[in-house]
Structure 1
Amino acid sequence: MPTKKPTKKPTKKPTKKLTTNVFLPKQQRSQDTQRKLLTALHTCLQDKFFEHITIKELAEHAGVSVGTFYRRFKDKESLLPLLYQDFGNDLTLWVTGLEQTRYASLADAVEKLSLATFRFLASRKSVFRTLHLNSRLHSALLDSDQVVDRKVIYQRLAGVLLTFGDEITAADKAKAAGVVVFMMINTLLDKVLYPGLTPAIASDLDADEFAQELPEIIMSYLTA
């Protein structure tokens, strides 16, 4: 009786490991090339999703050869930590601007923060989508920025609300402010990045309209 051959299990494809080291080259020429490639990525993201952008396109927009790209980066994904750090710098400038804004009251602060968050996300939609998706595919990306601490950024946003702590009725005001920042960013993120997907479709309002409606919900929570 013939011996039955054991079924060969399919080999699992190894997950691509993201290189998360962010460093500034010593030579000015290399620094310029790195900046050109990052600028090229920003340009390409205006018309395409990250996964559809080719290295050839990046090189062409940067005005360098494909060989020059590969001398500095292993693959397209190697640009993600640079993009994440670049976005962190934008995030810091944005929050600093909000901290320097004058607010008449808690309600005024909540309204202005909601609209500012919507505009910030909408103006960087393609970059934010790229980082949002790839940070879930490559969790190491979240540790690649050694300059900007995202938790501190969110605490600073909450601090804007806590300036009007006497108007917040919650027993733990800091906790309530943190919940508001989470709710504001998360809901607007869905509305801006994924308007046609769940849970964004639960509300018929577009992102702009939702940003204007959100303060009323937040104020009910903070001053209940």
Structure 2
Amino acid sequence: MNPIPREPRQARSRVSEAKLIEATITTLQAHGFEETTVPRIARTAGLTSGALYRRFTDKDELLRRCVLHVLEDQLHHTRALLPEDRVERCPLTELVTDIVADMLTSYRSRPRLIEALMQVMKSSSDEAFREKAAALEVATMDHLVKTLLKKRDEIRHPEPKTAIRMAFLVLSASLGAIFVRHPDRTALKSVAPFNDATLQREMERLVLGYLGVRNLAEANVEKGRRTRAS
């Protein structure tokens, strides 16, 4: 009888490693940075703690890998969100609407994960890791800037590149304050009593206003005209 062929050890190891990274991300979102322990990660992955230590030196190495994994996904996601053909045919207002909606969804759906990943980056003394993480964040921002600069004729700010960077840095900081620092939003009700629809609209205005794009009402009227014409 021929033996049942076994999956190569290297391939099995890659699968286990991927399981551990995904399990860590799930655990960070569910329990936060402090409560994400090796046994909890291993249980979520359906593996043993020993399996974790065979693939990672310690929990810190695994957490660093998770940060890089999320940042790589973020870069790929941003590229997919703004395909070249869509950028060419859509006005800047429409692209900004999509980007704001995407960022709003991300911050709203996983605030504890975002906070935990920020803690990992802040606390790590691994210089190589910090450089890789920073490079991925810069690459995502650079792609956003490069893409939206194709609509520079719609931007009235005297320095379009600077305006795009600053607009999205402010947007990210605002969403972080609302969803990450105050995940239940109760502490902000007196100053930011927004439902998600209002928040979406105001964040769009924040970005478009900084870029010097005409007001959102005018843009929506034009968008309605194009829809009816088509």
The residue aligned with 2:147 is 160
**Structure 2 residue identity aligned to 1:181:** F
Aligned to 2:118: 132
Letter in 1 for 2:99: L
Change (3 A) 1:121 1:37: same
Distance in 2, Cα, partners of 1:135 & 1:145:
8
CA deviation string 1:125-152 (max 9, x = no partner): 3332211122122264432459x63212
In the alignment, structure 1 residue 192 sits paired with structure 2 residue 183: no
- Contact 1:158 1:181 (C-alpha < 8 Å) held by counterparts: no
Q: How far apart are residue 115 of structure 1 and its match?
A: 1.2
Aligned twin of 1:53: 36
Deviation per CA, 1:77-104, whole angstroms, max 9, x where unpaired?
2211211121122212221122214563
Matched residue count: 198
Cα distance in 2 between the residues matched to 1:149 and 1:47: 25
**Is there any run of 5+ residues in structure 2 with no aligned partner, and where?**
1-8, 214-230
Q: CA deviation at 1:198?
A: 8.3
Give the distance between the partners of 1:181 and 1:126, measured in 2 at CA. 21
Higher helix share: 2
Other-structure match for 1:203: 192
After TM superposition, the structure 1 = structure 2 runs for residues 1-224 of structure 1, keeping only pairs within 5 Å, are 27-100=10-83, 101-102=86-87, 104-138=90-124, 140=126, 141-145=129-133, 149-195=136-182, 196=185, 202-206=191-195, 209-223=198-212
User: Which residue identity is paired with 2:136?
Assistant: D
Q: 3-state SS of the aligned residue for 1:185?
A: helix
Contact map agreement 2:24 2:63 (CA 8 A) in 1: no
Q: Distance in 1 between matches of 2:137 and 2:31?
A: 26
Separation in 2, partners of 1:64, 1:157: 38
Residue identity in the other structure for 1:205: F
The answer to whether the 8 A contact 1:190-1:200 is kept is no
Q: CA deviation at 1:172?
A: 1.4
Alignment gaps of 5+ in structure 1: 1-25
Kept after mapping to 2: 8 A contact 1:92/1:153: yes
TM-score w.r.t. length of structure 2 = 0.73
Q: Is the 8 Å Cα contact of residues 96 and 208 (structure 2) preserved in structure 1?
A: yes
Cα distance in structure 1, aligned partners of 2:92 and 2:98: 10
Worse-superposed segment, 167-176 or 204-213:
204-213
Give the deviation of 1:166 after TM superposition: 0.9
Instruction: Quote the sequence identity (%).
Output: 22
SS of residue in 1 equivalent to 2:34? helix
Q: Tell me how far apart the structure 1 counterparts of residues 149 and 189 of structure 2 sit (CA, whole Å).
A: 29
Q: Which residue of 2 aligns with 1:12?
A: none
